[in-house]
Amino acid sequence: MEKPTYHVLVCNSFRVGGDPQGVCNRKDAVDLLQMLESEIADRGIDALVSSTGCLKQCERGPIVVIYPAGWWYFGVTRQKMDVILDALEQGEPVPELLAG
């Protein structure tokens, strides 16, 4: 398998036992994950999407991180995700949404 251009991490609060329990999951991060999988395919973005355990930023969730650039986004909603994906198609971050 070729390495993807981007690796998009979406916190879904998975705990050691595999249960999704936590702030990001309660704030509909599963919905973001489904949206990402669908939009990345539709837009033809070369990215792998992974769901993660807690990224230790719970109060700011849902959290989305894009590597290798290391772009962290806090409080991501479907609307913000759409803007983030528009920029990602151009290989750019969304400065006003980046975690500071």
Written as one letter, the residue type at 79 is: Q
Q: Are 20 and 78 in contact (CB under 8 A)?
A: no
Name which of 5 and 50 has its Cβ closer to ligand FES.
50
Contact 93, 72 (CB under 8 A): no
Give least dist CB 84 to ligand FES, A. 17
Closest separation in Å from C-beta 30 to ligand FES = 12
- CB nearer to ligand FES: give 47 or 54: 54
Least distance in angstroms from the C-beta of 55 to ligand FES: 4
Nearest CB to ligand FES, comparing residues 1 and 67: 67
Smallest distance from ligand FES to CB 82, Å: 20
Cα–Cα distance between 8 and 33 in angstroms, integer? 10
Half-sphere exposure of 82 (CA within 13 A, CB side): 3
Which positions lie near ligand FES, rule CB under 6 A? 11, 13, 22-24, 54-58, 61, 63
Burial of 60 (0-12, 13-18, 19+ CB in 10 A): middle
